[in-house]
C-alpha cells in the first residue's frame, strides 16, 4: 500500500487533462451543492450572488470558505471591504436563488427587495429566514483561476433549523429526502 502511494506521488501530473471543459461541467452537474447567497456591502450599495461553492473549513477557529467568480458584481466589494455573509437557503428560497443568480436581469441592491434582511456583526446582509447565516471577516483570499477563494472568520451566526435545505443538482433545485437508516 505504502509503495503504491509512493509510486503515485512520483507520477508526472498531466497539465492538459484528457477531457474538455464541457465534459468537466457535465460531470460537475451531478455533484449536489448547498444553495446559498453570499452578500456584502450596506444599503444602498449591497451586492449578493447565488453560490454553491461554499463550505465549512474549520471548527476551531470557526472558518468557512466561498468561491466567487472574479466577474461577479460582489467580487471586488468582498475583496475591498473584507467582509461577507454566507446565507444557507431553505426549500422555499428557490425564487430568491434565481433572483440572486441574475436570471431576472437584476443587479446590485435591487435584488434585496425580495426577502427580509438584517445586519449582524459586519453589516453585510443576513437573510432572516435562512437555515443558517455566517457573518464573516475575510482572513484569506486565494487566487484560483476564474474564481477567488475567500476564507471567512465567522464573527456572528443565526440558525432556523425547522426548514429543509435547498440543494442544486443536475441543473435543478431539489430538497434532500431524509434517509432513515433503521429501515
Ligand atoms: C445554483 C447556482 C450556483 C452558483 N454557484 C456559484 C458559485 O459557486 N460561485 C460563483 O461565483 N457563481 C455562482 N453562480 C453564478 C452566480 O450566481 C451568477 O453569475 C450571478 O449572477 C453573479 O452575480 P452578478 O450578476 O451580480 O455578477 C451560481 C448560480 C447558480 C444558479
Whose alpha carbon is nearest atom 19 of ligand 1? Answer: 101
Please check the confidence at residue 5 and state whether its pLDDT lies above 70.
no
Residue 7 maps to a domain:
no
Helices (H), 40-178: 75-81, 94-99
* Residue 41 to residue 96: CA distance in whole angstroms: 18
Q: How far is the CA of 12 from the centre of ligand 1 (A)?
A: 34
Helices (H), 39-174: 75-81, 94-99
Residue 52 maps to a domain:
yes
> What is the Cβ-side half-sphere exposure of residue 181, based on CA atoms within 13 angstroms?
0
Full domain range(s) for residue 117:
32-168
| Ligand 1 mutation pick, 72, 89, 106, max ligand atoms within 8 A of CB | 72
Residue 159 maps to a domain:
yes
pLDDT greater at residue 177 or residue 15: 177
The number of residues in the chain equals 183
Residue 27 maps to a domain:
no
- Mean pLDDT, residues 102-107 taken together: 95
Spatial strand order of the sheet with 33-34 comes to 33-34, 167-169, 172-174
Mean pLDDT (the chain) is: 93
Here the cell at position 156 is 456572528
Q: Which CATH number does the domain housing residue 37 bear?
A: 2.30.110.10
In Å, what is the CA distance from 79 to each residue of 66, 99, 117, 125, 152? Answer: 12, 23, 22, 16, 12
Please check the confidence at residue 12 and state whether its pLDDT lies above 80.
no
Whether residue 53 has its Cβ less than 6 Å from ligand 1: yes
Looking at the structure of the chain, the number of domains it has is 1
Residue 54 maps to a domain:
yes
Amino acid at each position: 500500500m505504502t509503495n503504491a502511494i509512493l509510486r503515485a506521488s512520483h507520477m508526472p501530473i498531466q497539465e492538459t487533462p484528457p477531457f474538455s471543459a464541457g465534459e468537466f461541467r457535465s460531470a460537475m452537474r451531478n455533484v449536489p451543492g448547498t444553495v446559498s447567497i453570499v452578500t456584502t456591502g450596506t444599503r444602498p450599495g449591497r451586492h449578493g450572488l447565488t453560490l454553491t461553492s461554499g463550505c465549512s473549513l474549520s471548527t476551531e477557529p470557526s472558518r468557512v470558505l466561498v468561491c466567487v467568480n472574479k466577474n461577479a458584481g460582489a467580487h471586488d466589494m468582498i475583496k475591498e471591504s473584507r467582509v461577507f455573509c454566507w446565507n444557507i437557503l431553505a426549500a422555499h428560497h428557490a425564487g430568491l436563488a434565481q433572483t440572486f443568480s441574475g436570471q431576472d436581469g437584476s443587479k446590485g441592491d435591487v435584488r434585496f427587495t425580495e426577502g427580509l434582511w438584517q445586519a449582524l456583526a459586519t453589516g453585510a446582509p443576513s437573510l432572516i429566514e435562512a437555515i443558517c447565516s455566517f457573518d464573516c471577516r475575510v482572513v484569506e483570499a486565494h487566487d484560483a483561476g476564474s474564481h477567488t477563494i475567500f476564507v471567512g472568520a465567522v464573527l456572528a451566526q443565526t440558525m432556523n433549523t425547522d426548514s429543509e435545505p435547498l440543494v442544486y443538482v443536475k441543473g435543478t433545485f431539489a430538497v434532500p429526502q431524509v434517509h432513515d437508516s433503521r429501515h
